[in-house]
Amino acid sequence: MPLRRSALYVPGDKPRALEKARALNADLLILDLEDAVAPEYKVAAREQVREALRQGFPRDREVLVRLNALSTLWGDDDLQMLLGAAPHGIVLPKAEDPAEVRSLNLGIPLWLTIETPRGVLRLEELAAVRGVAGLVMGTSDLVRELRARHTPGREGLLFALSKTVTCARAFGLTVLDGVYLDFRDQEGFARACAQGRDLGFDGKTVIHPGQLETVNRVFAPSAGEVQRAREVLSAWQDARAEGKSVAVYAGQLIEQLHVSEAQEVLRLAAEVAARGVHERDSSEQF
C-alpha cells in the first residue's frame, strides 16, 4: 500500500486553501464538498474543486474528494463532476447502505466514511463491495449518534474503531482514523495519533496543516523500531544460514511472523525516506 499516514481535509470553497494544499506535507488530500462547506457555497465549491483538479497536484500527492451524500440536493451533481474530473478516489459520507455503495462502482476507487451506527453494524458488507479502497472513521458524527461523550481515551468509540480496523484488514483496505478537533492541543493530538496507530490504523485524518508534522511522525517507524527491525532480520538470516528454523534476539524467539513484521517496518521507513520532501511551514492556517 502507498504511504497514507496523514489525510488532510481541505475546504472546497476556499481557493487559497486548495492552492496551499499543493505544497503541504500530507500523504493524502481530501478536497471537501460536504461538512466543511456551508449550503450557500456548495455550488461554488464544486466548481472550485473541479478547477483545482484540472490544474493538477504534485505527482506524489494522492487526491480524494468527499462529495455530499447522494440524498442531498448536491450529491448527484457532485458525482457527475467527479466522474469527469477523475480524482484518485471519491469519499462517500455516512456510508451504511451496501446497495448504494455498489451503485457507485464507476471506475474510481471509493472510500467509505464510517460515521453512523448502521454503518458500523454493516461494515463487513460495505468493505466487501468491489471498488472500495479504504475506510475513513467519522468519529465526530459517530460520537453524536451514539450519544457518547468525547473523552481522552475515546472509550465510547473503541468497539467501532476496532471493528473498522478488523474489516479493513480482512478485505485488504486502507483504514484512516478520525479527526482531532482541537488543533491547538498538540499533546492531546499526539496521544490520539498513538492510540490510533496502536489500534492498527494506517493513518489519521486531520483538519489543520499544523497537525501534519505530528501525525506523520507518529505513524512512521521510529529510529529505534527501524534499528530493531534490522537486527531481527540479521539474527534471522544468521539462524537460517545455520540451518535453524527459529532465531533468538534479545532473549526472544524470532519466527517468520516476526520477520514479516520487521520487513514491514523497513518498507514503511523506506517509503517515509523516499517522501523526504521539505515543504513550506505547515503551521500556517488555511
3-state secondary structure of 137: strand
For the segment 68-76, the average pLDDT, to the nearest whole number, is 96
Residues 129-143: pLDDT tens digits?
999 999 999 999 999
| pLDDT for 166 beyond 80 | yes
Residue ranges making up the domain that contains 267: 223-274
C-alpha 185/C-alpha 273 separation (Å) is 27
Residues 123 and 90 in one domain: yes
pLDDT tens digits along 169-181: 999 999 999 999 9
- pLDDT band at residue 285 under the 50/70/90 scheme: very low
Q: What is the pLDDT of residue 286?
A: 44
Mean pLDDT of 259-266: 94
The reply to whether 127 and 202 lie within a common domain is: yes
Residue 280 lies inside a defined structural domain of this protein: no
Closest CA to 129 of 90, 161, 157, 103: 103
For the chain, what is the domain count? Answer: 2
| 62-66 and 89-92 strand pairing | parallel
- 281 assigned to some structural domain: no
Up-side HSE of residue 8: CA atoms within 13 Å toward CB?
29
Indicate if 62 and 133 belong to the same structural domain: yes
Please check whether residues 38 and 151 belong to one and the same domain: yes
Position 60 scores a pLDDT of: 79
Strand-pair category, 252-254 with 247-249: antiparallel
Q: Read off the pLDDT of residues 189-230 as tens digits, 9 standing for 90 and up.
A: 999 999 999 999 999 999 999 999 999 999 999 999 999 999
77 among annotated binding-site residues:
no
The reply, when asked if residue 66 is annotated as ligand binding, is yes
Residue 282 lies in a domain: no
- Take residue 133 and report the three cell numbers written for it: 479502497
Position 127 in a domain? yes
Q: Can you give the CATH number for the domain in which 154 is found?
A: 3.20.20.60
Last residue of a domain, one of 203, 219, 235: 219
Supply the pTM of this predicted model: 0.91
Residue 148: Cβ-neighbour burial (10 angstroms; 0-12, 13-18, 19+):
middle
Q: Is 115 annotated as a binding residue?
A: yes
Q: Do 85 and 215 fall within a single domain? A: yes
Q: Tell me the residue ranges of DSSP E strands in 36-109.
A: 62-66, 89-92
State residue 144's pLDDT score.
96
Q: What are 95-108's pLDDT values in tens digits? A: 999 999 999 989 99
Given 199, 219, 239, which residue is the final one in a domain?
Answer: 219
143 shares a domain with 156:
yes
Whether residue 283 lies inside any domain: the answer is no
Confidence of residue 148 (pLDDT cuts 50, 70, 90): very high
